Chains A and B, each alone.
Chain A
Amino acid sequence: MNTENNQSISTVNSPNGETRGTLDINTYLDQDEKKDLLRLLTAGSVDDGKSTLIGRLLFDSKKIYEDQLSALERDSKRMGHAGEEIDYALLLDGLKAEREQGITIDVAYRYFSTNKRKFIIADTPGHTQYTRNMVTGASTANLAIILIDATKGVITQTRRHTFLVSLLGIKHVVLAVNKMDLVNYDQKVFDEIVAEYKSFITQLDVPDVNFIPIAALKGENVVEPTTLMPWYHGPSMLEFLESVHISSDRNFDDMRFPVQYVLRPDLDFRGFSARVASGIIRKGEKIMVLPSRKTSRIKEIITYDGNLDEAFPPQSVTITLEDEIDISRGDMIVYPDNLPRIERHFEAMLVWMDEKPMDPNMQLFIKHANNTTRVRFDKIQYKIDVNSLQKSSVNHFELNEIGRVVMTTNKAIYFDPYKKNRSTGSFILIDPITNNTVAVGMIIDKLSAEDLPSKIVDEKTLEANKSRIHKGECLISDAQRQKRFNQNPATLWITGLHGSGKNELAFTLEKELFDAGATVVLLDGSSIRSGLSNELDFSPTDRAEHLRRVAHISKLLNDQGIITICSFITPDESIRKQVIQIIGEDRFKLIHMDATIEFCKKNKPELYEKFEEGLIANLPGADLQFFPPENPTLLLKPENRATNTKTIMEYLADHKIFPIV
């Protein structure tokens, strides 16, 4: 059997020896060095003929050496499952215990090549208890072959495999309908299976799906095109694998360079080494470093084989910058106009890989884009059954279980959704005590506004906590407080852009109220952030947590009969709603200091300038949108500085907040 891939060799190796010579082999090798690499996953069980198919691909492309074959003949006689014929599966099952059980347990990698491509097969077992192995194999694959037994059709296992393949973001799927010989190579059987599978796979996100009928045991339509299925006009399995286009599957749009190693051979040289995770990195291009947000330009892209003008994934290169910037492993170099998410909170699909079940209260290490930090679970959204795709609520995961979780890291990580970017959307979780890799995950995205941190506590915990708290009985009544303070407590919440004059108003108002005899406390960003909220940053999620704390303080003070003035930007409605929920609608008075962005930039330029220089992010009015409140209690303008305080004082008097009499 002379396959296409062997043709050029057979000229070189022709028996008369005349064409033999270094010229031919040189030409051959020069071409051969340029072949690309396809990594594929095979899913299915021994019963589906998976090992037989792989054996065929390897054997028929002449890559199984003679001695392995003779050893195989010996082995087959001792424990083969294929009667007198050679058992291809035995070629593949590596470890002793597995051979005795007759099943492949772990992921095994196989290699073969043809004239057109080199192939790496991740061979993984099919049963539910080996979900983690399949997930492992799928993580590096460009393409998946899902095997199906033509006599059985689409079964639960087929659906499970397809789901896992789509979960891991494999873009090309081939449904190999095997054992066509057992159904007389009947087109009807094939068409029915194809139709059923199509109706299932459309629910999942797989862009390229193909169908190939084969009979692996007979070698039919595996390497050579079929002769027994004239109704099938597509390529054979190997022809398909050789021609499928995969080079555009990578993300070439969003440049991410997660620094892996800082190269400092001497004091004059400072290089940053990494694999390009995605996008194209170009010499001379302006870049930004995360988290410092410092900018510079790419000076050189260095490799042992000479400098490059541009580098792309998955190249491993070293870059130098025009400016001296302090950069360490785990920092990320990106283009300033295309930033990844910079967040501590995110949602992910998690696959539990450890024998020991998940302890949802345990802090683990997360390793992501060359960064390792601590992480906790905030909430398990649901578990998804890999067989039925049904979702159910659970409080932890066991081995091989998959589900959606909300997580918070100790420091911000730089990520993209896994769907867009496999390299910056994937992570592993490591148990700090055993050091085992206990779970792996694919990031869905940052948290949506409805899932702000104050809500990331499951109801059961909240209830359980409540039942333990015995509320002390206060001996002072609200009426007594009213009489003492001559005021009805309220929260005067001033919202507005940085530089709008909120703080000035807040301080003037405090003085005015104090002088008039009111009991008042002022809360502002700088005082709260320097202590109570000092670990939080300015990202939307952390901002929400910061304001949740402020709201609780204000509520406590209001409960004691005290009026509070809170001066915070509070950029959007969802955050303001959260604050109102805590404080109570009756007591919450929203004052909007309505200034234009131009006014603010002129009034307090420092932060806005820092933003322009790229030194800070998440500045409302700049890169974060400020949503003005729709119905504020009072709408004030900075131009009316002279009268603003008076307006508020009048409002308070009119509404019997202060003074009551």
Chain B
Amino acid sequence: MTEYSLSHLKELEAEAIHIIREVAAEFENPVMLYSIGKDSSVMVRLAEKAFFPGKVPFPLMHIDSKWKFQEMVEFRDNYARENNWNLIVHYNKEAFEAGVGPFTHGSKVHTDVMKTQALLEGLGKYKFDAAFGGARRDEEKSRAKERIFSFRDKFHQWDPKNQRPELWDIYNARVHKGESIRVFPISNWTELDIWQYIRLEKIPIVPLYFAKERPVVNQDGNLIMVDDDRMPKEIAEKAEMKMVRFRTLGCYPLTGAVESEADTIEKIVEEMMTVTVSERTTRVIDFDQDGSMEQKKREGYF
């Protein structure tokens, strides 16, 4: 008898495809948030799989904080063009013109205005009733308890105490007008699963994930890369060339690099399985205050 059994990656893939199709079937106007990162890249591939041989029936949206690494933006534009994506790029125009940035306003204000506010603005502008996000439950403690279909009220707020029960693979997709759902199709994936899947599926990712000599400055233990001339001179002057790579990607002044020699996916996985630092430590925003991710999520951040 044939053994009808799936590998863990194929089972996770089947689960994610089911979730993505469910949203497309149940909601009028969904959107997939695309952050350019590796998790987003996997999520987009899963969406392509879900609707093959058809096209993905909803747009992708990138919330551009205007402080992303240049390589990320290049990658985004090239990749979207090559694959013929329906990609919306949204940013907080008013705040951008007012010059908001992490160096001048601090990470807290910058994140709130250029990421959280920009996201809410983008979702409101196009009246999206469901938004896919590439968050995983193993990333951070408060995510471990979040539902796959995560309900948001009119103000896009998450109430961790009042989440809908979620059983089997039956998702409650009912919302009133103005309310919405954030959907996390790769909730059950771990960082290792993501890398293995990228390897297996040959999914293109931003070169910043691979080790290369880059100019970095050590700021309170975080290796910050000098990506453009908006970095204050007195900081940028201290830059040294180091063999580094990034485990997560975000705004360049808020994302620390790690010293590494890993320039292939295999080496990254090898390094990851033996390394002892979890990925979100390279995100400066998580350390603002205790339980800060939970706080941000309550306010509408992903």
Q: Which residues of B contact A265 (CB under 8 A)?
A: 51, 53-55
The reply to whether A247 and B160 form a contact with Cβ atoms under 8 Å apart is no
B84 within 8 A of A: no
Q: Which residues of B contact A109 (CB under 8 A)?
A: 137, 144-145, 187-188
- In the complex, which residue of chain A has the Cβ closest to the Cβ of B4? A312
Contact with A435, one of B14, B172, B187, B267 (Cβ below 8 angstroms):
B172
Given the known interface contacts A96-B294, A97-B161, the answer about A36 and B269 at a Cβ–Cβ threshold of 8 Å is no
Q: Which residues of B contact A397 (CB under 8 A)?
A: none
Bits for A14-52, please: 1 = Cβ < 8 Å to B, else 0.
000000101001100100111111000000000000000
Q: Which residues of A contact B264 (CB under 8 A)?
A: 22
- In the complex, which residue of chain A has the Cβ closest to the Cβ of B14? A316
Q: Which of A67, A97, A263, A437 has the most CB of B within 10 A?
A: A437
B48 within 8 A of A: yes
The reply to whether B4 and A252 form a contact with Cβ atoms under 8 Å apart is yes
- Beta-carbon contacts under 8 Å, B149-204 to A: 160-161, 163-170, 172, 174-176, 187-188, 190, 192-193, 196, 199-200
- Report how far A353 CA is from B142 CA in the complex, Å: 22
The reply to whether A275 and B18 form a contact with Cβ atoms under 8 Å apart is yes
The reply to whether B188 and A304 form a contact with Cβ atoms under 8 Å apart is no
- Report how far A260 CA is from B49 CA in the complex, Å: 15
B239 within 8 A of A: no
Q: Which residues of A contact B98 (CB under 8 A)?
A: none
- Report how far A109 CA is from B166 CA in the complex, Å: 13
B3 within 8 A of A: yes
Q: Which residues of A contact B78 (CB under 8 A)?
A: none
Given the known interface contacts A36-B11, A108-B145, A111-B137, the answer about A428 and B3 at a Cβ–Cβ threshold of 8 Å is no
The reply to whether A67 and B277 form a contact with Cβ atoms under 8 Å apart is yes
Q: Which residues of A contact B168 (CB under 8 A)?
A: 139-140, 422-423, 426
- In the complex, which residue of chain A has the Cβ closest to the Cβ of B24? A261
Bits for B12-51, please: 1 = Cβ < 8 Å to A, else 0.
1111011001101100000000000000000000001111
CB distance from A173 to the nearest CB of B (A): 19
- In the complex, which residue of chain B has the Cβ closest to the Cβ of A423? B168
B52 within 8 A of A: yes
B213 within 8 A of A: no
The reply to whether A94 and B11 form a contact with Cβ atoms under 8 Å apart is no
Given the known interface contacts A109-B188, A260-B18, A435-B174, the answer about A428 and B167 at a Cβ–Cβ threshold of 8 Å is yes
> Interface size (B, Cβ < 8 Å)?
71
- Report how far A250 CA is from B18 CA in the complex, Å: 18
**Contacts between chains A and B (CB distance < 8 A), count:** 192
The reply to whether A33 and B9 form a contact with Cβ atoms under 8 Å apart is yes
A488 within 8 A of B: no
Q: Which residues of A contact B83 (CB under 8 A)?
A: none
Identify whether the interface residues of A are mostly helix, strand, loop, or mixed.
mixed
The reply to whether B196 and A316 form a contact with Cβ atoms under 8 Å apart is no
- In the complex, which residue of chain A has the Cβ closest to the Cβ of B190? A111
A135 within 8 A of B: yes
- Report how far A331 CA is from B262 CA in the complex, Å: 50
- Report how far A89 CA is from B123 CA in the complex, Å: 38
Bits for A298-319, please: 1 = Cβ < 8 Å to B, else 0.
0000111100000011111010
A406 within 8 A of B: no
Bits for A396-431, please: 1 = Cβ < 8 Å to B, else 0.
000000000000000000000000001100111010
Contact with B196, one of A12, A32, A139 (Cβ below 8 angstroms):
A32
CB distance from A144 to the nearest CB of B (A): 15
- Report how far A430 CA is from B167 CA in the complex, Å: 13
B141 within 8 A of A: yes
The reply to whether A120 and B196 form a contact with Cβ atoms under 8 Å apart is no
Q: Which residues of A contact B167 (CB under 8 A)?
A: 135-136, 139-140, 426, 428, 440
B86 within 8 A of A: no
- Report how far A32 CA is from B190 CA in the complex, Å: 14
The reply to whether B145 and A106 form a contact with Cβ atoms under 8 Å apart is yes
B218 within 8 A of A: no
- Beta-carbon contacts under 8 Å, A528-587 to B: none
A367 within 8 A of B: yes
The reply to whether A35 and B169 form a contact with Cβ atoms under 8 Å apart is no
A118 within 8 A of B: yes
B259 within 8 A of A: no
CB distance from B105 to the nearest CB of A (A): 26
The reply to whether B266 and A436 form a contact with Cβ atoms under 8 Å apart is no
- In the complex, which residue of chain B has the Cβ closest to the Cβ of A68? B278
Q: Which residues of B contact A312 (CB under 8 A)?
A: 4
- Report how far A260 CA is from B25 CA in the complex, Å: 7
What 3 A-B pairs are tightest by C-beta distance, nearest first? A265-B54, A66-B276, A139-B167
5 contacts between A and B (CB under 8 A): A33-B9, A34-B7, A106-B163, A247-B4, A329-B25
Give residues in B with beta carbon < 8 Å to A.
Answer: 3-15, 17-18, 21-22, 24-25, 48-55, 137-138, 141-145, 160-161, 163-170, 172, 174-176, 187-188, 190, 192-193, 196, 199-200, 264, 266-267, 269-270, 273-278, 281, 290-291, 294
Beyond A33-B196, A65-B276, 19 extra complex contacts between A and B, CB < 8 Å: A22-B264, A22-B266, A26-B266, A33-B9, A33-B200, A35-B8, A36-B8, A66-B277, A94-B144, A94-B145, A96-B294, A111-B188, A136-B167, A260-B21, A313-B4, A316-B17, A370-B25, A423-B168, A437-B166
